[in-house]
Each structure stands twice: as structure tokens, then as C-alpha cells.
Structure 1
């Protein structure tokens, strides 16, 4: 059942990142914040989102988040509250060159709605090669698969 989405309704909409309201030129600001760091350029706001993918595989709802260069033991927090899984991270970086020092700081957060049948008490997380993987067991025995018949009427 890989790739099958067990969420429905309004909760499923939470998987997509919330767009911040910037007032003037929101598309330009969103573009600048996602622009790759070329020639040392960093977006002025210092805020970027956490890129995630989520899927169901082998009885687990899996969320994978890109968090390169982060120390998961001290820079990452994972919380769950009322079926909402939130991943938060902070990154600070200092570069020193001749006659110049620069300090950058950013905090990141991403929330996804868990499936209704998620076993929140059994959530596990691991981190390897810049990828945080959160595994949430789901109760697949409660799933009922049935075909829905379509009624047709005479159009006379």
C-alpha cells in the first residue's frame, strides 16, 4: 500500500506547507526564500521551510525530512499533539574570514497531520545522512476496502 494516503478531509490539507503572509509581492519573497545559496547569498529573512515527504509503507506512516548539517540531538525537536506531528529545528552558523565574521541563525518548523489510526505512543525517529525519518505505526486492520456501486437513473 505504498503511497496510499490514509488521511482525509481537512487534516490532509495540513501536509502542505502553510504560506506566510508577506503583504507586498508574496510570490517574489517565497521565491527568494527558496533560492539556492549562490555566491554566499542568503534570503534576508533567514527563514526557510523543512522539505518533507510522507507515505505509508508496511504498516507505517513515514515522514522523511531534509535536515542537513543539523545535530539532531540538540537542534531538533519532534512533538505530537492531537494527531499533529511537528518537526522543529534550529541552525546557527558562524563563518570567519580575514577581517570579517558573519553569524547566521534560522529556525524551521513543519507540521503534518497524522492518520486517524496512528499509534502516537509508538512513534520512532532516526537521523542519517541529513535525513530525519519519523515512523508512525498505523492500525491497518481497521481499514475496510469495498467497492461503491454507482446508482443510475433514467433521464426521461
Structure 2
């Protein structure tokens, strides 16, 4: 299924992409934006240790962020005890711009927010290029019928028809009607 997704000419929304790839884990929500010539990806990950709970990898043109969270809250009262656990693993795959250099990607973690900064290579303002079309002459004696140029091998025309070099006679069968409306 991942081979099919490589040939899709448009961005597939993350939930659909994850479904098609068979990923069923919780999705890491991110915000992604351009800051000048840098792509910035931010994820809220409060209560984690980035050294132990976060893995950021690059494979080809895909940046993968994996995070694990385990948070415990305990309440001990005189006659009761309550413990709440919040845990899970989160993954997000992000397409990188063509030409991104792996060694230039930087990540930081401040106040519960993971920020990944990806310098984007200079893109040509007009990446497309016009391809010139060359002309070739047709084979000798065959003319160029159907190509928009006159066939000069014959001057005779059938009644009611005209050649590309001879205009129709006024009032003839091929001439436009004249008169008042």
C-alpha cells in the first residue's frame, strides 16, 4: 500500500494516510508552517522527557516523530486511594521538501513543546522548463494533407470546393451568404 501512496500526485490528509498504511496508534497532532526559508514543525508534548521519550528520524524524504508518554497521578486520602495513569505512544510522518539535508535538521523542547526546524533548500522560482518543438519536413511527393498547410501537388478542385491557395468565388456554393438580416 505504501507504494501506491508514493505515486499519488497530491497530499493525502494524515488520518487517511495512516489508515492506508495500517497505522492504528494515536496520532501526534502538529502544527506545520514556513518561517522564512525554514520549515517549522511543532508538537505539544507536555510531561515528557525528550531524551528518553522522543525519537526523531529521517528516512529518505520523510521525517518521523515518535513520542511516548507515561504520566501518573496519585491521591492518597485517609480512607481512599486513587491513581490515574495516562500513557500512550504517538507517531507522525511529515514529508520533507526535496533537497533537505538531514544534518541541518534541529530539534528543541521548551515548556512542553517540541519544535523541529528544517532549513529548506532554495527552490527555483520557475522549476518548469519549456521544451522546444522541432519541425520536420514531410516525405517528398506526399504533401501535407491534414497538417494545416496546402498540398501543392494538385491545382484541380472539385465543384463547390476550393484549395487553400484559391479563395472561393463570390456567390459560389462555399461562399458565406450575403444580404440583409
Q: Which interval holds the TM-score relative to the shorter structure?
A: 0.5 to 0.7
Instruction: Quote the residue 1:110 is aligned against.
Output: 92
Does residue 123 of structure 1 match 2:121? no
Distance of aligned partners of 1:146 and 1:104 in 2 relative to their CA distance in 1, 3 Å threshold = closer
Distance (whole Å) between structure 1 residues aligned to residue 19 and residue 83 of structure 2: 31
State the 1:58 CA deviation.
2.1
Trace 1:1-156 onto structure 2 (pairs within 5 A).
Answer: 10=8, 13=11, 16-17=14-15, 18-20=17-19, 48-97=26-75, 98-140=80-122, 142-145=123-126
Q: Which has the higher contact order (CA 8 A, sep 6+)?
A: 1
Give the secondary structure class of the aligned counterpart of 2:11: helix
Distance (whole Å) between structure 2 residues aligned to residue 93 and residue 74 of structure 1: 14
Distance of aligned partners of 1:59 and 1:11 in 2 relative to their CA distance in 1, 3 Å threshold = farther
Aligned residues: 116
Distance of aligned partners of 1:103 and 1:68 in 2 relative to their CA distance in 1, 3 Å threshold = closer
Give the secondary structure class of the aligned counterpart of 2:72: strand
Query: How large is the RMSD of aligned CA atoms in angstroms?
Result: 3.0
Structure with the largest fraction of helix: 1
Distance (whole Å) between structure 2 residues aligned to residue 144 and residue 135 of structure 1: 22
Distance of aligned partners of 1:146 and 1:87 in 2 relative to their CA distance in 1, 3 Å threshold = closer
Question: Larger Rg: 1 or 2?
Answer: 2
Question: Which consecutive residues of structure 1, in runs of 5 or more, have no partner in the other structure?
Answer: 1-8, 22-44, 149-156
Q: Is the 8 A contact 1:14 1:112 kept in 2?
A: no
Distance of aligned partners of 1:117 and 1:56 in 2 relative to their CA distance in 1, 3 Å threshold = farther
Report the TM-score, using the length of structure 1 for normalisation: 0.61
Give the secondary structure class of the aligned counterpart of 1:118: coil
Distance (whole Å) between structure 2 residues aligned to residue 116 and residue 107 of structure 1: 29
